[in-house]
Amino acid sequence: MTYSLVEQTGLHTARRLPLAFAGAAACYLMLLVLGARLLNDPDTFWQIAVGNWIVGHHAVPRFDAFSSSMPGVPWISTQWLAQVIFAQTFAFAGWAGVVALSAAAVASALGLLIHFLRRTLATSPALTLALGAFVFASPHLVARPHVLALPVMVAWAAGLVRAVDERRAPSFALLPLMTLWANLHGGFVLGIALIAPLALEAILHSGATERQRELSRWALFALLALAVCCITPYGPQSVLATSRILRLGDALSLIGEWQPQDFSSLGGFEFCLLVAIGYALYRGLTLPPLRVLLLLGLLHIALAHVRNGEVLGFIGPLFIAAPLAAQIGRRKISAGNAASSAWLPVLAVLLALGAVSYAAAQTMDYRPNPRFAPVAAVAAVKASGKTHILNSYDFGGYLIASGVAPYIDGRTELYGERFVVRHHRALMLQDVGEFFRLLHEANIDVTLLETGTPAAGLLDRLPGWKRIYADDVAVVHVRADAATSGHKGVLR
């Protein structure tokens, strides 16, 4: 199937900007109102703590300096730049700043998506696809490095797709985006992976006499992309770090964001997916074979892991926009209106958004989910004077932020599959003997466990252990000789 993009001019570029900007502004305001949901992740704590460490040491971490179980073990942070940005934002504006920053990143990605979709599609299908993108991504929209990389991901993918649609090689101007992405989040490897299938499509669609030239141009771009993604403090190690995460095996199934989609009840993901399938069947929509494979690949990873819903949502529409435009109608270009007239309302809205952000920071109580921030329980741990702690997985980030070295935290790639699975089995008492061996081998003298954890109930009945604190979030036990009658101190 042959399809082409509508020729772009400065006039209609300016005319479509307000729609994309309006969509981004609406998204930003909604996320600002729902700001607490952006802080609904335990890893936000340690991401900021690592950023503070980087700023304080003027270096990036190469060994673990935060846990009690892996001190000195090699570990790198491929998200170092995003962590620094989050840490500096938190230092300047607290949790309100973190919320505003995350909301702005998500809104920018959505605005860019609308902007690129509107190059070919009419308003209604473009906005419908953008809305679906937000629904697909919403479960994983939290204040963590990947949200800062979302606009970069959209711009990169759109640049590659446009190159194929316009029958040309991708612009070298995209390469700085890859360098930025590689320093923000490990997901940049996906951006590298997208080059091969899109290059294949470009080569297959070129004439027989031009295929060698097309192959050379895309190959050169791919080699340069691989080179520039290594422009990080860690060099090529950043690329290899992602493979370690994907090799975590059974450990990933224990982490919510790495679990498959849940279809036990109708949710936003399933609803949008069913609507899309129904509409395609009703209208008889078709895609070129390689675009079908690309879309199925994105759907597969989104079904396999909740966290990849954002990839399907924000990249998938870019692959189908041009083919769909040929079947449901292209965007109609009007020759009226001055190009410069769009910038005055944009400036006015920007100023209004700034004022709303300031007002929200002053009036709204942004704070992380208490389920991941056991403030009083950690105060009890500190008051016990003990440091050999065994903690629940979701408490690790808050412990690091509180200056307490955890037994485990969200850096799963540091601990490895065996360590994480063993920890889970022990706390769930799937292997009681393993729990006792863990206590002995790590010389545990204090525990900080989620209320209701089977191991916490066992400790209540275990000679030599005493419960010193409990609430509806966490329970603290210490060895009998370490028990204290109270706790003091207030955490930040």
Which amino acid is it at 31? Answer: L
182 shares a domain with 242:
yes
User: Cα separation of 311 and 195, whole Å?
Assistant: 15
Is the domain of 229 the same as that of 87? yes
At residue 42, does pLDDT exceed 90?
yes
In percent, how much of the chain has pLDDT > 70? Answer: 92
Q: Are residues 342 and 422 in the same domain?
A: no
- Chain segment 421-459, per-residue pLDDT in tens: 999 999 999 999 999 999 999 999 999 999 999 999 999
Tens digits of residue pLDDT in 3-32: 443 333 333 444 445 789 999 999 999 999
**346 and 379 fall within a common domain:** no
Cβ(160)–Cβ(173) under 8 Å?
no
Residue 292 lies in a domain: yes
Residues 265 and 391 occupy one common structural domain: no
Query: Is there a single domain that holds both residue 339 and residue 381?
Result: no
- How far is the C-alpha of 314 from the C-alpha of 112, rounded, in Å? 10
| Residue 397, in any domain of the structure | yes
Res. 175 pLDDT band, cuts 50 70 90: very high
Buried residues in 191-206 as b, exposed as e (16+ CB within 10 A): bbebbebbbebbbebb
- What's the count of helices (H) and strands (E) in the chain, helices before strands? 19, 4
Determine, yes or no, domain membership for 20.
yes
pLDDT the model gives residue 333: 58
Same domain, 305 and 244: yes
Q: What is the pLDDT of residue 484?
A: 41
Residue with tokens 């004077």: 385
Each residue's pLDDT tens digit, 280-318? 999 999 999 999 999 999 999 999 999 999 999 999 999
Q: Which domain holds residue 388?
A: 370-482
| 224 and 306 fall within a common domain | yes
Q: Is residue 477 a part of any domain in this protein?
A: yes
Q: What is the mean pLDDT of the chain?
A: 89
347 and 432 in a single domain? The answer is no
Query: For residues 45 and 402, what is the distance between their CA atoms, to the nearest angstrom?
Result: 9
Mean pLDDT of 144-168: 96
**What pLDDT, on a 0 to 100 scale, did the predictor assign at position 332?**
64
**Spatial distance between the Cα atoms of 118 and 112, rounded to a whole number of angstroms:** 10
**Count of CA atoms in the C-beta half-sphere (13 A) of 25:** 18
246 pLDDT above the threshold of 90: no
Nearest one of 415, 413, 74 to 244, comparing CA atoms: 413
**Residue 292 Cα distances to 40, 172, 298, 329, 330, angstroms:** 35, 27, 10, 20, 20
Question: Each residue of 192-203: pLDDT tens digit?
Answer: 999 999 999 999
* Dist. CA 326–CA 295, nearest whole Å: 18
First CA to last CA across the chain, in angstroms?
A: 60
Q: Could you tell me the pTM of the whole model?
A: 0.90
In this structure, the answer to whether residues 195 and 246 fall within a common structural domain is: yes
Asked, for residue 454, whether it belongs to a domain, the answer is yes
Bridge-partner residues for 330, per DSSP?
Answer: 121
Q: Are residues 376 and 335 in the same domain?
A: no
Question: Could you give the number of structural domains in the chain?
Answer: 2
